[in-house]
Amino acid sequence: MLSKDCTQLMEWIGDQWCPVPMARMQELLPPGFSEQRVNDLRKDGFLKWEYVPFGDGLAAGYSLSDKGKAYLEEREQIAEKASQQAAEKRAEHKFQIFYVLLGSLLTLLIEHGPRIFNYLQTLLS
């Protein structure tokens, strides 16, 4: 599993419309950026590079590799699943609270029902 900084940098690179040269990244300072981190991600296969026009010449532009895209998609799926499980747990918790309240109300009516009805009759009379 990659660090938060690596993941943020990969997400930023993935959001760019074309490969980003290192010099451009040094100017913009994207989240999680360091030259070493870019090189490590490239060596690990998460980033790929190709020559792109930059300034008066060409520079190595970095973009996500297929491995990098797959990693980010997997992280997104894990986050969605965790979010869905949390939502299901909250819904289940609400139903548990409802059942406890309903049970308490029924117990109250069973144990004190005649007195409650007598009291209501005296109020209405």
pLDDT (tens digit per residue) in 70-84: 999 999 999 999 999
Q: In this prediction, what percent of the chain has a pLDDT beyond 70?
A: 100
What's the pLDDT at 1? 84
pLDDT band at 108 (very low <50, low <70, confident <90, very high): confident
User: Does domain 4-64 sit in CATH 1.10.10.10?
Assistant: yes
* Mean pLDDT, rounded, for 9-18: 95
Residues 31-50 have pLDDT tens digits of 999 999 999 999 999 999 99
3-class SS shares of the chain: helix, strand, coil, % to 5: 70, 15, 15
Q: What is the pLDDT of residues 48-59, one digit of tens each?
A: 999 998 888 999
Rounded to 10 degrees, the C-alpha dihedral 3/69/32/81 comes to: -60
Task: Show me where the domains of the chain are located.
Answer: 4-64, 82-125
Distances from the Cα of 90 to the Cαs of 14, 15, 80, 95, in angstroms? Answer: 33, 33, 15, 9
Asked if the model's pLDDT at residue 114 lies above 90, the reply is no
pLDDT band at 125 (very low <50, low <70, confident <90, very high): confident
Question: Whole-model pTM above 0.75?
Answer: no
